[in-house]
Structure formats: structure tokens, C-alpha cells
Structure 1
């Protein structure tokens, strides 16, 4: 197993060693986002999981939550889970990409026709989800507890101008996750990709290191990007997964009763997170709140088609060049699953 983020792992070990564990079993669950279950899907997932596991184990299992990236950068926390320092994490595709690069297959622009299809496909129980999860588990030796979208379709924000066409992307420095596929999307549209870890994004936008970024509306809202960005352009160009994992050795060491509890509690918690994203999108916490401080525009379908025409070939070529036959096979399986689930 490769070792990443030794400093982050060391700091986490010091932090965690100070905890006093009264229960028979302790599950430390980390994620990047706010702890408030009404502010983010991972906050909701963590809160529901903690409540269900602790109450239904009669206190035999304690779930300790570490939100807001307390234990380090996303990829570092995944390494902590792989190493057994932390039991579980809910992570972005950007963090997972450094451990399992094939997560980039989700980044074919405009592949998902709507959020209903996306919800059915981006699930560990879908036909594609089962294939994806089995491959990820084999490559990382992690146990996957949940697969969920990152909060909805991505929009662009920036501090320079509205994005109404591909031409408006020219020269904009857009922060991306540390995902080659995201960098390819921005480059193919004429922008300048600026890959940065999540913890650095707000400051980068505030100081002008990056002109803009791309994320789902709920993430833009809770990250308060409206404080440092003037324009929000609804493009709906991609939708990416968050992946909930657990140290496999820890999971396998649980009693059968506790495994069953973890399995169904994580399933219920994942659905709670999925629902919370839709609630945030539809409520005053979503676009209405952002519209009060930002200039919002929706890119019409005819222009979206031009975005797709520019970006899709670039991302497919990158997947083929970097990940070879395995990458194309996984991508084609994803596209086939989207087609099968598009029954509306």
C-alpha cells in the first residue's frame, strides 16, 4: 500500500489518542463538510449514522464525528482509514482519485440527463454501483458503505463575468479538484484549471489565486462562496460521487450483529444525505439565498450542447490515455447504466 500524507496521519494519531473510549467499539467518522445535518449531505449522513448505531447498539458502539476536515485533507484522511488510524470517512471524488483514479469516469460532461437518473446510478446497489464498488474495494482494500452524489449538478462561479457561452470561459482560472478529468473539462472550454485541495479554495478565491470554481449549489452555499464570488452560472455539466468508506479489517472484525447494524444504518444515512441535498437545492438555503448576493444565470440547452461538444471528447481521450482499457470499460459501463436507468 502506498503511503500518503505522513504528517497529516501523525497529527491525526496525536489528536485521536487523546480521546477516551468508554464503549466496547468506537467508530471515528470524518468528513469535509459542516457538522450541521441541515447544511450538507455528509453532515446529515454522519448525524443519522451516529444516532442509529449508538441507540440500536445500546451504547456498545460509540460514533465520534470529525467534520470540517478536522483530521486533514481528504486524501490524507482516506489514507488514515486505509492505515486503520481512523475507522471511516465520507470523501469527495477528488480525494478518492489519489487512491482510486478510475473515479474519474463520472466526469464525462452532460452524461446524466437529470437528478432522478443520477440518484439511481450513483448508488452502491445499482448495476453500475456494484461493479464500481467491487473494483474500488479490490484496489484499495476499503469497505464501501455508501455511494452518493456530491450534492447535485455542478455550476460555475467566478468573480469576473457571467458565463453564458463557451467563449466566456476563455482565460478564467477555475479551481478544480485534484482530478485530471476536471482539469481536462476546464482546459477544453478555454479556461485555466487551478487544482487545489478543498481547504484552500475559499482563500484562493478571496485572494484571486483563482477566479472561480465549480461545485453543486449546496456546496457553494455552505462554503459561503457568495462572499468571494459575484457570478453563478448554472451549467449542470457534471455530477460527481461522494464515497463513504470504512477500514476493511475493522469492519471484518465486527461481530455479525454489529456488521448488520453498520450496514443498515449506513444505508439509511446515505438516503438521508441524498434527500438533504435535494431539500437544500429546493429551499431558501439554495439558489434563492445565493441569488440575493450573486448574479445568477442559467445556461440554456442549446449552449449546454456546445459545452458538451467541446468537453466530452477531451475527457474520454484523457480516460483512455491515462487508464487504458480498464478506464474505457468502466466508463462504458457507466454510460450503459445511465441509458438503462433513463426511463422518464
Structure 2
């Protein structure tokens, strides 16, 4: 089938050494797909050859794309700390221009782009794919701009041909080898440096990495299921959403710890976090305790509608509680003793 992946496909994975990229192999192997790895950094497992290069480097991307039949772009500038607006723009938007130009050069017509629910910004109700995006930060804004470039590339297919731009917008992704939000929460609870704040009734959409890569394989190995002419966009989050309290309970249970009966009211917790806000601004460090983190966990509603992918038949292989339990198990087995490696792209392409 045209513009799908399956036996014999050769996919250039840009950003292959990152968290999501490191989990792709089982899904692609099952589909009979060959991975060509491209990243600023070597494969973290040391098992796979990786073409080292920058998504903004047209010559490097074009050379790496030779002989490929499809492209998966996972590369992004996405950290809250250590990245300026110009870098978000050059990596996320400039990188999309580079990928489109390289695909044009090789006549490749099949793309999957890993975007983000950050494109939606803040909404009172969980956004679905028809919700008008209103990003509130550089990450969401530049991801949305990249989507637009891929959409322009898709609709500009020469007469008699078709192109496919499959766009997946995941919620917060977690799983083994990820050292972000959930890892930090697990570590704080494990080291007894955490106290629950607020009622914990706010909903948080998340997705376990195995489910996300399975979803990509499910969608990409079949033809587009959206009406002709419409953007092929899918939110992804594991359902049902959990409240922050339910997630805390899962972590305490998996760690074998007794959950505290006392919860600190939100107002004094925010007051106590202010010195850490100041310290973070002065040092430029991403501290584990800030007012924003307290609000995000204890108050902010970050729920997203993800029914479209389920309506076309996708069933996640791992439930959200099972995913949290697996994450905690990895933490206990090796994650607690591992040092996170933060990959921040350089401001400019190195030559």
C-alpha cells in the first residue's frame, strides 16, 4: 500500500538516540521495517550504528536519507531550561524545512512527525484534534509551525502522486530510560523528599512509551483513515486519565511505601517554593521544586481527548497503572543509580 510502512520499508529515524527513538526497535522489527538511525548522539545502547548529524544540516540529512522509503522525525528542541527561542526556531522549524527539502530531493512521499499536545496551549476542556491550537510557549509554537510546513509539503505533491504527513501529538510520555516528570516524582517519593500538596483531583493525561510507539506502528502501517484533504493528526494519551492523587497512589504502592495521610494545602506550598524559583533564575538550573512544578502536579488540569485513534481500532497493550508499575520497577532495578544525560542541541549547526 502506498505511503505506509511494512516489510521492505527503510525508514530514516531522525532523533533515533532519544527516549522515544530508543524504544522503536521491537515495533519496527515486528513490521519488517529497517531503521536507519540519525542523531546528534550515538545510540545509547551502543548496539546500533548511528549516522551522526544535525537535523538542520541539509547535506547531512539528504545524504542519510539516500535509499530510504519513509522518514520519522523525532528530533526536537524541547527542554524548559537551557534553550533559547532561536534554537527552538532553528531545530523545530528549520529542521522541518530541511527534512522537506531532503524528501523532495529523493522523491520520498511518506513522513511521520512526532509533534506534541503543547500545540493546543491552555483550554478549559480537553482538546481534541479539531480544537484550534493556541500554543503558549516556544516549544508548542514551533511544533505547530513544523506541522504547517509538513502539511504544505503534503498538499504540494506533483500531479498524479500523493504524499502522506502523519502527525502524532502525544501527551507527557514516560517509561524506562526517561528521567523527566514521573521519574523525578518517583525519586522524590523514594528518597522521602515529597509531601502531597492540594486535593490531587486534577486530571493528568500521560502515555506509556510502549503504547506510543505501538500507536505509531498501528497508524503508519495502514493507509490514512481521515477524509481526503484533511490533515492526518492524532492525539495520543493513555486512557482513562488519572488524577494526580491516583498517580501518586500508584507510585507509593509500586515502591512498597505507605502513602501519607496528610496533604499540605496549596497556598503554603507555593510560598515555600518561591526561594527555589529565585535560586533557579539565578543559577539557570532546572530544580526539582519550583512553583510551576507544584502547580503542575497539584492544581493544573492537563487532560487531552484521544478518542480518534481508538475509534480507528487501536488498543493500547499496557494500561496506565501497569505502565507506572513498570516505570517504578525500572527505577528500582537500575534507574535510581543511573545518571540522566541531557541532550540539548547546539544553537547552530556544527561543521
TM-score normalised over the length of structure 1: 0.32
| Higher relative contact order (Cα pairs below 8 Å, separated by 6+ residues) | 1
Which structure carries more helix by proportion? Answer: 1
User: Which one has the bigger strand percentage?
Assistant: 1
